[in-house]
């Protein structure tokens, strides 16, 4: 299972996401580094955990439509592979992210206007470079002003898969940073049943290594992590074990 560290960017620095309450986000405090500068945090993920693929949640882009293109360039120049969510609302937005060095553009339900844009993006850039994020808040789709034929989480996932998308993130913002355990497992299992071929990644709520076998058992291919890395509850041994496919279920589950 792939581990993808998250860089939540706000005002150009890395912040700690908590429950999707963005007005409460503050510069990250980490056992990996004393800095909140994006390049320093990214290098800590690489030097301490040997992780070089990063998920960049650019809140300056998502909330203010002012993406941190200079930060992307620094990270790409330093050798990182970036999956970037900067609030894609148009074909032009996605094109700018790819030009700025994104290996994959993450198109979030929160900002994408409708399924038609997703179909256009797939046709223009191909399925390897487009990832859809099923953004949830306490299990409810973050539709914003989006226009979708189906509005349930599973219905949206079915619609996305029917458009040819092969990479899907299931992200519940209400669980991010709260350390209450993963909240998307049941939904991921349902998506896996209807789309066994899709690359399925989830995020939100992972507390420690005991949660990771639960994700593996649900058929999830990757996990977005931030808090559990920054507080040291998931470290190099667990990351290496996941990469080898040798992480074992714990004897007892710690709630």
Kindly give the confidence (pLDDT) of every residue in the chain, 255 residues in length, as a single tens digit, with 9 standing for 90 and above. Answer: 899 999 999 999 999 877 666 777 789 999 999 999 999 999 999 999 999 999 999 999 999 999 999 999 999 999 999 999 999 999 999 999 999 999 999 999 999 998 999 999 999 999 999 999 999 999 999 997 777 888 999 999 999 999 999 999 999 988 887 777 899 999 999 999 999 999 999 998 899 999 999 998 899 999 999 999 999 999 999 998 887 776 665 433 333
Residue 246: predicted pLDDT: 63
Structural domains in the chain, CATH included, are: 2-244 (3.20.20.70)
- In terms of Cβ atoms closer than 10 Å to its own Cβ (0-12, 13-18, 19+), residue 57 is buried
Q: What is the pLDDT of residue 250?
A: 44
Q: CA gyration radius for the chain?
A: 17
**Which residues, 6+ apart, have CB-to-CB distance to 28 below 8 Å?**
8, 14, 15, 16, 36, 41, 226, 230
Token pair listed for 129: 């470079």
| pTM of the predicted protein model | 0.92
> DSSP characters for 59-86?
HHHHHHS---HHHHHHHHHTT-EEEEES
Please list, residue by residue across 232-251, b when 16 or more beta carbons sit within 10 angstroms of its beta carbon and e when fewer do.
ebbbeebbeebeeeebeeee
Give the 3-state secondary structure percentages of the chain, helix then strand then coil, rounded to 5: 40, 25, 40
Q: Which pLDDT value is given to residue 167?
A: 97
Kindly state the helix (H) or strand (E) to which residue 94 belongs, with its residue range. Answer: helix 91-99
Collapsed DSSP state (helix, strand, coil) of residue 214: helix
């Amino acid at each position: 299972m792939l581990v993808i560290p998250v860089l939540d960017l706000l005002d150009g620095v890395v912040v700690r996401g908590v429950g999707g309450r963005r007005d409460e986000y503050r510069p990250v405090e980490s056992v990996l580094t004393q800095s909140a500068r994006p390049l320093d945090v990214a290098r800590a993920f690489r030097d301490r955990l040997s992780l070089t693929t990063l998920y960049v949640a650019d809140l300056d882009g998502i909330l203010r439509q002012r993406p941190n293109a200079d930060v992307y360039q620094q990270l790409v120049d330093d050798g990182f592979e970036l999956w970037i969510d900067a609030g894609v609302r148009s074909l032009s937005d996605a094109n700018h992210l790819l030009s700025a060095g994104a290996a994959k553009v993450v198109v979030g339900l929160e900002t994408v206007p409708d399924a038609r844009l997703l179909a256009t993006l797939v046709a223009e850039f191909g399925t390897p470079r487009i990832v859809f994020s099923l953004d949830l808040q306490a299990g409810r789709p973050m539709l914003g002003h989006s226009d979708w034929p189906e509005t349930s989480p599973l219905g949206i996932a079915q619609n996305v898969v029917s458009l040819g998308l092969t990479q899907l993130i299931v992200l519940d913002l209400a669980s991010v940073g709260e350390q209450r355990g993963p909240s998307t497992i049941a939904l991921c299992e349902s998506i896996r049943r209807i789309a066994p071929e899709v690359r399925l990644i989830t995020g939100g709520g992972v507390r420690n290594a005991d949660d990771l076998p639960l994700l593996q058992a649900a058929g999830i291919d990757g996990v977005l992590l931030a808090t559990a890395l920054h507080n040291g509850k998931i470290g190099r041994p667990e990351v290496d074990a996941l990469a080898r496919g040798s992480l074992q279920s714990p004897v007892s589950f710690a709630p």
